[in-house]
Structure 1
């Protein structure tokens, strides 16, 4: 295999979708413990939501045509025939020229087709003055209008956010079948890397922050992370530690040792873990060109650059997609973007995708992206940024005021 023949960003995404397997292992979880898990099977609604026609406002249930012509200057008049109590089936019907008081969420009484808001009418000793005409169906939710019995509510591969849990709860569903949580192992390499808890650094030493930042991002995606520590630039030690961690997890992540230096053993170590091995060795991207992606024995392996800024950008772009694919989540074609106007000209080299860290600011109702100037290895550029601007490989840069896609990082 010939290594370091770089792939484009688009080719890399396509290879991830092709090469990364999705987990098939499932479990049943109680709804209150299923947040951020991925559905392993579709959910079909067993009943209508709501189960009855109900009012969306405090007001009076009426026949809409009885309010036609009503206005502030010439109100209509209806007889109040009773009221609806919450949680009870109405024992009164709405007839010609009648109105029934109904609270928000109350069941619509028979004979009515709409609700006039209490702000637009006045009950004067049982005679309702209506100051506005309303249309049939106004201020009413029909039975099954939200969720209809028999329809597929949630598809397989959907991530369960708070709103999905709420929808399931509304149907009385208490347990769901989900894919089990993925476990990823993280390993740092390099003679110069020391634990971040190191109080005083010797000359040339660097604290390991990737172990925290990469693990933090993975945790945001509901992935459990096992920290494998730091290994020296020694092939035997590197290989042994990588193998031990690989055996414990579903995905192995390493940072450092992914370039073409004489002491960079990452590629050799990954190849030793299993077939088919490396499928990306280098991406036409700045920052982060020396990136390795592989599948070894059915498990994804990610080799990140050592620079913290480059490692985070690469992991956000490609690591997230790999872990989500592995988790069984349904994937969109590319990461989501918002669009913002760039505040200054940014040159770029054709044939290479550039990713520029930016700070977002709202001006006159529009988002503007302010590039954060700094060398790619600077950690403070990550702290200051709200996202990264993508300059695709076919462009020679962007001009001030041009709309650009921004991948959010907050």
Structure 2
């Protein structure tokens, strides 16, 4: 791990640290109904075709396409009505030339039928059906395996189970899944100046903002997080807290205590606990430079900046991807897209700069004040505008990369 000691470029942190993280959690089996939001611990292959029988996609009349070729309003074709097929019936009927069966959406086709004429293009009588529009072979029909072939890969290991995914698995008769257990995360705030929202705040103190912002970020992740309290400005307190949490948790997170001031103890505490110790201290980003990534044995400790906006941005850009990788998720990087700037954005070329942005429609974003101590602009923002390293900003009307909040 020695090569990580001087890492500061954000892209290197993604590539050389976060991307190579292996899941830090066990595997377990859960019923399908309890799987929403969980992460698959195995590839899923289709155990059967879907659909597993040919079915109609409309209400109408099952036919042989060649029997109704050329049918029109002025030159209709008459077929013998043999009966009706209802949904849910296991059909062993055979359709012969010149015949038709009335059928409803989702019902199984009779053998020999290869298309369905919609009800709107047929005139039904007791014995015959008048067809006024022809259909092509396969029209209004879903054949066996048209949607999913038996044995095909439908979900990859590391995928998150979502609503539509759950329905897919149910349709294929998959009712139990092997998933990763939730990641255990311990969260600390730090600083003698920090008080909880429920405590009396005297002048000079500040209420804990970062912990509650972290809760909002972690709510949709596959984690069990626990707030372990506020750390006093004392090195022994930091060491004992981290040591205790490393025995129980998969990841330890502390906000504040990550800069180079004399009273910031996160780095020293990590290095006192074991190797490899601190592997990143300081990122080439603004805001959020004073950030720490440490590792003790096979467990990580993440030190976040104390200022709320910096803390939130670093958590979104780096802590969440780390949590996702530790949780076994394949896709861990924030999503982004190009969007036009309503106003110019200025940046220092020596750092990768992130600016809060408010969407003003699908194609334009308004930059917001992103000074680290401010908290209101963060609450009004929809995501981040990224100004790459080596760039001194973007002009009004330019396109920029935008990373929407995902939680």
Q: Please report the TM-score for the alignment, with normalisation by the length of structure 2.
A: 0.93
Matches within 5 A, 1:2-401: 7-17=8-18, 20-23=21-24, 25-198=26-199, 200-331=200-331, 334-362=333-361, 366-401=362-397
SS at match of 2:248: coil
CA drift of 1:93 comes to 2.8
Q: 1:133 to 1:399 in 2, by over 3 A?
A: farther
Instruction: Give the Cα separation in 1 of the matches to 2:213 and 2:18.
Output: 25
CA drift of 1:315 comes to 0.7
- Residues 131-158 of structure 1 deviation map (CA, whole Å, 9 limit, x = unaligned): 4332211221111222222222222211
- Residues 178-230 of structure 1 deviation map (CA, whole Å, 9 limit, x = unaligned): 111110000111111011212x4211111112112112212311211111111
CA drift of 1:374 comes to 4.8
SS at match of 2:269: helix
Instruction: Give the Cα separation in 2 of the matches to 1:288 and 1:131.
Output: 70
Instruction: Give the Cα separation in 1 of the matches to 2:27 and 2:72.
Output: 60
- Residues 164-189 of structure 1 deviation map (CA, whole Å, 9 limit, x = unaligned): 22222222222111111110000111
Instruction: Give the Cα separation in 2 of the matches to 1:24 and 1:224.
Output: 12
Instruction: Give the Cα separation in 1 of the matches to 2:37 and 2:298.
Output: 24
Instruction: Give the Cα separation in 2 of the matches to 1:31 and 1:250.
Output: 26
SS at match of 1:163: helix
Q: How many residues align?
A: 405
- Residues 346-397 of structure 1 deviation map (CA, whole Å, 9 limit, x = unaligned): 12222321111111132xxx43212123523221112111111222214332
SS at match of 2:66: helix
Decide which moves more: 247-256 or 41-50: 41-50
Instruction: Give the Cα separation in 2 of the matches to 1:287 and 1:4.
Output: 21
Instruction: Give the Cα separation in 1 of the matches to 2:189 and 2:263.
Output: 14
Instruction: Give the Cα separation in 2 of the matches to 1:233 and 1:135.
Output: 77
Whether the 8 Å contact between 2:185 and 2:250 is mirrored in structure 1 is yes
Whether the 8 Å contact between 2:358 and 2:382 is mirrored in structure 1 is yes
Q: 1:100 to 1:395 in 2, by over 3 A?
A: farther
- Residues 268-305 of structure 1 deviation map (CA, whole Å, 9 limit, x = unaligned): 01112322122211111111011111221111111100
Whether the 8 Å contact between 2:309 and 2:371 is mirrored in structure 1 is no
Instruction: Give the Cα separation in 2 of the matches to 1:11 and 1:88.
Output: 59
Whether the 8 Å contact between 2:258 and 2:267 is mirrored in structure 1 is yes
Instruction: Give the Cα separation in 2 of the matches to 1:336 and 1:73.
Output: 56
SS at match of 1:39: coil
Match of 2:398 in 1: 402
Q: 1:310 to 1:62 in 2, by over 3 A?
A: same
Instruction: Give the Cα separation in 2 of the matches to 1:64 and 1:338.
Output: 46
Q: 1:398 to 1:94 in 2, by over 3 A?
A: farther
Q: 1:115 to 1:246 in 2, by over 3 A?
A: same
Instruction: Give the Cα separation in 2 of the matches to 1:262 and 1:71.
Output: 88
Instruction: Give the Cα separation in 2 of the matches to 1:41 and 1:4.
Output: 34
Q: 1:401 to 1:114 in 2, by over 3 A?
A: farther
* Structure 1 vs Structure 2 CA RMSD: 2.2
Q: Which structure 1 residue ranges, 5 or more long, are not aligned?
A: none
Q: 1:71 to 1:376 in 2, by over 3 A?
A: farther
SS at match of 1:15: helix
Q: 1:138 to 1:273 in 2, by over 3 A?
A: farther
Decide which moves more: 151-160 or 288-297: 151-160
